[in-house]
Amino acid sequence: MSSFDAFINRNDSFGPSEKLEIRRYSKVDEILFDAQKTAYGVRYTQHGFPKIARALKEVIVSAGTYGSPQLLLRSGVGPAEDLAELKIPAVVNLPVGKNLQEHAYLPLALSLDDISSDNVYIQERDLTEGSIAEFLDAGEGVLTGTVSRAGQSFLASSVTLAEGFPYWPDIQFTLISQDFPGELDEKVVRAIKPDRANPNQTVYMYVYLGRPKSLGQVKLNPKNVSGPPLVDFQLLQDERDVQIFLDGIKMALQLFEDTQAYRDVGAKYSESPVKFCEHEVFRSDAYWRCYIHTFVTGGYHPAGTCPMGFAGDANAVVDASLR
Ligand SMILES: Cc1cc2nc3c(=O)[nH]c(=O)nc-3n(C[C@H](O)[C@H](O)[C@H](O)COP(=O)(O)OP(=O)(O)OC[C@H]3O[C@@H](n4cnc5c(N)ncnc54)[C@H](O)[C@@H]3O)c2cc1C
């Protein structure tokens, strides 16, 4: 079901009302403020024509992690020093665009001896006319699995333990029982695949930072303020994130090498270092640090550029009533 059917195209009291009008193909360029700094509408462009929509009550900004700060900054809502640099008249000085966070993750690859379809999905083998028919006719078979997210667990690193929050996990494990995950760059897959594996024997564990400490920023591009914003995640800038990854890698290796379940399927982590980190002693902390800095990647969950907080919180952009 689409979001449109779930939330808008409904035949109940939550369904479409005369109050809702959607203007498609419209890009908002600026929020309009009156002299009292009250937002009274937006200026937008539709099919190349500039237009204005006036608000009867309020303007709600929900343009996403990159779009919301971009729109607010263009409209003069943002850090005073950044707006001054961009020569945009400031309406309100707020930390818009700061506090960018991302669930960074690190892929680890291991090989399996038991590559039955219960353990690993291999597209060339498992996506067949028969498996499609089995799924469509009976709702059964290999296609009912969640290969790309086969298992999840949440763990506490030494960082959260030291902070006194043992029951607030900051590591997420995601098991990908797929021999070639689509979201990973092909070069990364080739670099981290265990040396002994043939192309069809690999599964992956993604170690995620559940509560990243590093903070990035979304800014307008001073050379083109109406173009795409500049996004800087600053991944691993906070050393605690590296420590959380180190703990996560060691926990994952323990799982692969010291548990009966993984022994039963002949799981093995690589016996030799990845090419980029050969200069470090294999499996030492220095080696893993190199691995972390080489293979860390964004997990498609950017957030935090317009954070909510109590009135007076210097890091907040909106309060609990979205003001
Ligand atoms: C590849 C990928 C996989 C993901 N997988 C998952 C998952 O499995 N589970 C999960 O929970 N989350 C997942 N996410 C994250 C999830 O999609 C986002 O957290 C969520 O969509 C954020 O919703 P949003 O409404 O804040 O922003 P968005 O979904 O980004 O919506 C913002 C909208 O505003 C529009 N917009 C921006 N600027 C303007 C403007 N100036 N004028 C008019 N319109 C504008 C954009 O076009 C967009 O339609 C994934 C994200 C990606 C990219």
CATH code of the domain in which 191 resides: 3.30.560.10
pLDDT for res 151: 86
Q: How many domains does the chain have?
A: 1
User: Looking at ligand 1, which atom is closest to the CA of residue 303?
Assistant: 19
Ligand 1: distance of its center to the CA of 247 in Å? 31
Question: Of all protein residues, whose CA lies closest to atom 16 belonging to ligand 1?
Answer: 301
Q: Which amino acid is at 241?
A: D
User: Are the C-beta atoms of residues 79 and 93 closer than 8 Å to each other?
Assistant: yes
Strand 39-46 to 217-219 pairing:
unpaired
User: Looking at ligand 1, which atom is closest to the CA of residue 44?
Assistant: 42
Ligand 1 pocket residues where CB is under 6 Å: 27-28, 62-64, 67, 71, 300-301
270 found inside a domain: yes
168 found inside a domain: yes
User: Are the C-beta atoms of residues 307 and 317 closer than 8 Å to each other?
Assistant: yes
Residue listed under structure tokens 């498996």:
131
323 found inside a domain: no
pLDDT for res 199: 56
pLDDT for res 282: 97
208: nearest Cα among 166, 239, 165, 252:
252
208 found inside a domain: yes
34 found inside a domain: no
Ligand 1: distance of its center to the CA of 239 in Å? 29
155 found inside a domain: yes
53 found inside a domain: no
pLDDT for res 182: 78
pLDDT for res 157: 98
3-class SS letters over 130-166:
HHHHHHHHHCCCHHHCCHHHCEEEEECCHHHHHCCCC
pLDDT for res 198: 62
Mean pLDDT by 10 residues, the chain (323 residues): 78 68 93 96 97 94 97 97 96 97 95 85 90 95 80 95 96 89 86 71 92 97 95 97 98 95 91 94 98 95 96 90 88
Range of the domain at 162: 105-214+234-295
314 found inside a domain: no
Question: Of all protein residues, whose CA lies closest to atom 53 belonging to ligand 1?
Answer: 300
